[in-house]
Amino acid sequence: MRAETAEREGSARRAVPAAAAPVLQVSNLSIRFAAQPADMIDDVSFAIGSGRTLCLVGESGCGKSVTSLAIMGLLPQRVAQIQGGTARFLGEDLLSMGRAALEAKRGNEIAMIFQEPMTSLNPVFTVGEQVAESVRRHRKYGRTEARERALEMFRRVRIPAPEKRLDEYPHQLSGGMRQRVMIAMALANDPVLLIADEPTTALDATIQAQILDLIRDLQAETGTALLLITHDFGVVAEIADDVAVMYAGHVVEHGPVEAIFNDPQHPYTLGLMGSMPALGGHTGRLMTIAGSVPPADAMPAGCRFSTRCPFVVEKCRSERPPTRLMPGGHGVACFRAPLELNVRAQPQ
Residue 104 CB-density burial (10 A; 0-12 exposed, 13-18 middle, 19+ buried): middle
- Angle (CA) 179 46 301, round 5°: 110
Tell me: do 190 and 285 sit in the same domain: no
The domain that contains 52 carries what CATH number? Answer: 3.40.50.300
Tell me: do 230 and 88 sit in the same domain: yes
Tell me the pLDDT band of 281, cut-offs 50, 70 and 90. low
Tell me: do 214 and 80 sit in the same domain: yes
CA distances from 159 to 30, 148, 190, 208 (A): 40, 15, 19, 15
Q: Is there a domain that residue 262 lies in?
A: no
Over 80: is that where the pLDDT of 95 sits? yes
* Strand pairing report for 92-93 and 80-89: antiparallel
Q: Is there a domain that residue 248 lies in?
A: no
Tell me the pLDDT tens digit for each residue of 306-345.
999 999 999 999 999 999 998 878 899 999 998 764 445 4
Tell me: do 235 and 271 sit in the same domain: no
- Section 252-267 average pLDDT: 94
Tell me the pLDDT tens digit for each residue of 115-152.
877 888 999 999 999 999 999 999 989 999 999 999 99
Quote the domain boundaries for residue 145.
2-240
Tell me: do 324 and 218 sit in the same domain: no
Q: Is there a domain that residue 228 lies in?
A: yes
Tell me the pLDDT tens digit for each residue of 160-212.
999 999 999 999 999 899 999 999 999 999 999 999 999 887 788 888 888 88
Q: How many domains does the chain have?
A: 2
Q: Which strands form 92-93's sheet, in the order they lie side by side?
A: 41-48, 24-33, 80-89, 92-93
What pTM was estimated for this model as a whole? 0.88
Q: Is there a domain that residue 192 lies in?
A: yes
Q: Is there a domain that residue 231 lies in?
A: yes
Tell me: do 231 and 123 sit in the same domain: yes
pLDDT at 31: 97
Q: Collapsing DSSP states into helix, strand and coil, what is residue 112?
A: strand
